[in-house]
């Protein structure tokens, strides 16, 4: 007995936990108010409705057998398919021959509900104009309706402009004002039209009558309107198995607004928001089945089937039963002929099967050889060798198959392209476990990209940092190599500062946080990685932001590992115009101070909101470093700082950041601070007002005209990357670079 009691208690707590997780109502909830059924997710008492954080939209009040929501808005119908019908008053203005005598207009706030496109904005009256204004944040949108007539209109039923007009309403409205008015030059027409009316009404629920509506529409008072509702603001894919949809139901994305709704599966009926709300429909007793004649309907869970009496077969066309026709016996010669034909067919099929198996095996062998060829061609051997030399990796690099990459990108569909640049194309990929990734594909036939891809795998295999885009794996058995990264949802820092498709306004707190995270990441790469790493292409286009505006450093194709016994390397110059260290450009010697310079340019962009290169500025200020240095020298730094971030509170922090910028962009690399010092300075700006300074003086940058390393000849504003061969002393321009 004790064991049974423990089992029953376990079952009870399990059911209670499931009910809690799904957000189910109490069992004793009141479900009717007058003649209206009120079921979950709605409710009229505590713990009986779906709780929306910060909003009680699903909570209604029942007073004197009448159902209300909001500020006493009467409810007349609730649908589980995402609709709610309420009654709403009209707006009117009444006149005598000389002046306004009576007026009423309303402002409505619908909380978490929105107007459906099934409503019509209607105006009734002669010489009438009515306006509906949708209010969203600090912006208003208006639509209106106009009706002009010199005499009493003729005809009823149609609201087509003669004394009555209708127009559609903006879908998704949550707060709006409706007003009616009349032109001042026309008050009333022979007394038959003293008032102008404006109101919302469900489509098809208002029939215009000249005699009644022009004179006494105000007596009607209220009309039905339709509101849309849904659960939350996420899609079914985003909520997954945490949706509140019950058993035998499916989740559907709302087609009218954000969020989702639940529907019972075919063959079930009831409330899909309750755990056991959708119950099986007995099609055999509800005349839904199509069994005909002598066939008998047999109900099943979620469906039915038609059963025939013994000895009869079901005709699936008519769904009726009939006695099958008996096939007459064949003569022995026909049997022998059939046996011969069948034997021949089977023999041919066996031969075709053997040939097909051989061809399939040869094809598999050929594909294996081709994949091995691509693996070697894409640097698989080099990658293995370098990884073994570099030591144990900090990340587990997964090897993906060619078929898996095709499925993830829908055959490399153009709609999946996230961006294109000098190092290839980046696609949005969806793996079999529904996780979203970014897949970078090198340019077809560009052998120079293979080395950069292998270098990126090598570099990222040594990095394990939360502000570095994580490398998940690679695929080298395709014609061009593929790299698979975590998917960052919020675009690049360049998009937020300069892009036209982002509605982004970064605050100073956000910009300082982003700058601190970038600096900390570079300090880690320079000083704390197992092998020091120089990124060599730091720019706003290579800084990704997630949904929390956390910075993620990306695109390590140009990066270099620095041996522990060396402080700099002689390499071919590579980087992006505007961000490229002039000392590195002139000498071809790469060290960590090159990244410091590039970071200084990025910090300038965060402070000023200006692009690194802007050919619309004067000749001496086309480069943001020149622009910034000139403004600082002439004591007009406030003109350079982005107006969106400057205020009285943060002026000291911004001036400190400007000082850091000038130190990072000094022409001589030895005079620049290390990234550890930069990161510490920026972190101190975030946590304390007592900031440590590297120096008390701010040396003015010299040789601003040489900051780019080459004279700016183009009149366009496109970013260019530059390469420099230190052996041949020749500058090479590659217009398309980076992501």
Active site residues per annotation: 537
Give which of 73, 205, 53, 195 is closest to 128, Cα–Cα. 195
Q: What are phi and psi of 696, to 5 degrees?
A: -95, -10
Is-contact 584 555, C-beta < 8 A?
no
Spatial separation of the C-alpha atoms in residues 719 and 705, rounded to whole Å: 18
**Which residues are CB-neighbours of 548 under 8 A, at least 6 positions away?**
none
Spatial separation of the C-alpha atoms in residues 125 and 92, rounded to whole Å: 10
* Range list of H helices, 461-536: 493-498, 508-523
φ/ψ region of 389 (left if φ > 0, alpha if ψ in -120 to 50, else beta) reads alpha
Biggest CA–CA distance in the chain, Å, is: 115
Enter the tokens of residue 349. Answer: 């099929």
- At 462 the three-state DSSP class reads coil
Inter-CA distances, 415 with 164, 411, 419, Å: 46, 11, 11
The DSSP code sequence of 233-285 is: SS-HHHHGGGS---TTEEEEE-SSSSSEEEEEPTTEEE-TTSTT-EEE--TTT
φ/ψ region of 6 (left if φ > 0, alpha if ψ in -120 to 50, else beta) reads alpha
- At 24 the three-state DSSP class reads coil
- At 83 the three-state DSSP class reads strand
Inter-CA distances, 146 with 164, 168, 702, Å: 8, 13, 68
DSSP assignment letter at 588: -
Rounded to 5°, angle at Cα 312 from 308 and 317? 70
Spatial separation of the C-alpha atoms in residues 661 and 632, rounded to whole Å: 11
Is-contact 156 208, C-beta < 8 A?
yes
């Amino acid at each position: 007995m004790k064991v049974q009691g423990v089992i029953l208690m376990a079952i009870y707590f399990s059911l209670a936990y499931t009910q809690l997780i799904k957000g189910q109502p109490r069992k004793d909830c009141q479900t009717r108010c007058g003649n209206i059924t009120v079921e979950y997710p709605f409710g009229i008492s505590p713990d009986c409705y779906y709780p929306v954080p910060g909003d009680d939209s699903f909570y209604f009040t029942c007073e004197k057998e009448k159902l209300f929501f909001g500020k006493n808005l009467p409810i007349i119908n609730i649908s589980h398919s995402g609709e709610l019908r309420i009654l709403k008053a009209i707006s009117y203005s009444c006149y005598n021959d000389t002046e306004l005598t009576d007026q009423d207009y309303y402002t409505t706030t619908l909380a978490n509900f929105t107007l459906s496109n099934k409503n019509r904005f209607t105006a009734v009256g002669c010489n009438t104009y009515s306006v509906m204004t949708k209010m969203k944040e600090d912006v208003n949108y208006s639509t209106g309706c106009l009706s002009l007539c010199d005499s009493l209109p003729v005809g009823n039923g149609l609201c087509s402009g003669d004394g009555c007009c209708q127009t559609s309403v903006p879908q998704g409205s949550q707060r709006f004002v409706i007003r009616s008015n009349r032109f001042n030059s026309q008050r009333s027409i022979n007394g038959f039209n003293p008032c102008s009316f404006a109101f919302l009404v469900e489509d098809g629920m208002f029939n215009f009558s000249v005699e009644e509506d022009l004179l006494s529409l105000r007596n009607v008072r209220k009309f039905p309107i339709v509101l849309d509702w849904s659960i939350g603001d996420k899609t079914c894919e985003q909520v997954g198995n945490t949706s509140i949809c019950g058993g035998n139901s499916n989740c559907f994305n709302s087609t009218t607004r954000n969020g989702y709704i639940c529907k019972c599966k075919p063959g079930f009926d009831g409330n899909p928001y309750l755990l056991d709300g959708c119950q099986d429909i007995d099609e055999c007793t509800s005349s839904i089945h199509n069994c005909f004649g002598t066939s008998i309907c047999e109900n099943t869970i979620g469906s039915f089937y038609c059963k025939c009496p013994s000895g009869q077969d079901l005709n699936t066309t008519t769904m009726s039963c009939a006695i099958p026709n008996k096939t007459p016996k064949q003569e022995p010669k026909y049997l022998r002929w059939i046996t011969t034909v069948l034997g021949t067919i089977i023999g041919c099929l066996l031969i075709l099967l053997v040939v097909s198996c051989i061809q399939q095996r040869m094809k598999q062998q050929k594909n294996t050889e081709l994949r091995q060829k691509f693996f070697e061609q894409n640097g698989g051997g080099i990658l293995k060798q370098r990884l073994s030399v570099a030591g144990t990796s900090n990340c587990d690099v997964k090897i993906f198959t060619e078929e898996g990459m095709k499925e993830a990108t829908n055959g490399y569909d153009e709609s999946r392209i996230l961006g294109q640049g000098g190092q290839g194309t980046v696609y949005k990929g969806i793996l079999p476990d529904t996780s979203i990734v970014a897949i970078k594909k090198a340019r077809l036939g560009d052998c120079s990209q293979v080395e950069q891809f292998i270098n990126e795998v090598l570099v990222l295999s040594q990095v394990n940092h939360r502000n570095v885009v994580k490398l998940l794996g690679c695929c080298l058995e395709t014609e061009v190599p593929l790299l698979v990264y975590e998917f960052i949802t919020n675009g690049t820092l360049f998009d937020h500062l300069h892009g036209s498709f982002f509605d982004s306004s970064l605050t100073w707190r956000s910009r300082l946080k982003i700058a601190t995270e970038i600096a900390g990441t570079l300090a880690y790469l320079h000083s704390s990685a197992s092998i020091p790493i120089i990124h060599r292409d730091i720019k706003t286009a290579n800084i990704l932001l997630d949904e929390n505006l956390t910075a993620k450093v990306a695109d390590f194709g140009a990066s270099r590992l620095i041996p522990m016994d060396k402080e700099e390397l002689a390499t071919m110059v590579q980087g992006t115009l505007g961000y490229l260290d002039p000392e590195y450009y002139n000498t071809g010697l790469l060290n960590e101070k090159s990244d410091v310079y590039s970071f200084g340019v990025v910090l300038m962009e965060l402070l000023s909101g200006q692009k690194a290169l802007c050919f619309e500025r004067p000749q001496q200020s086309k480069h943001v470093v020149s622009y910034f240095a000139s403004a600082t020298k002439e004591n007009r730094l406030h003109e350079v700082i982005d107006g969106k971030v400057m205020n009285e509170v943060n002026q000291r922090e911004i001036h400190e950041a400007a000082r850091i910028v000038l130190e990072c962009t000094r022409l001589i690399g030895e005079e620049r601070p290390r990234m550890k010092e930069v990161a510490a300075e920026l972190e101190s700006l975030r946590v304390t007002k007592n900031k440590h300074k590297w120096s008390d003086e701010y040396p003015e940058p010299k040789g601003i005209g040489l900051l780019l390393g080459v004279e700016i000849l183009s009149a366009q504003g496109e970013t260019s990357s530059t390469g420099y061969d230190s052996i041949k002393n020749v500058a090479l321009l590659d217009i398309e670079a980076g992501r």
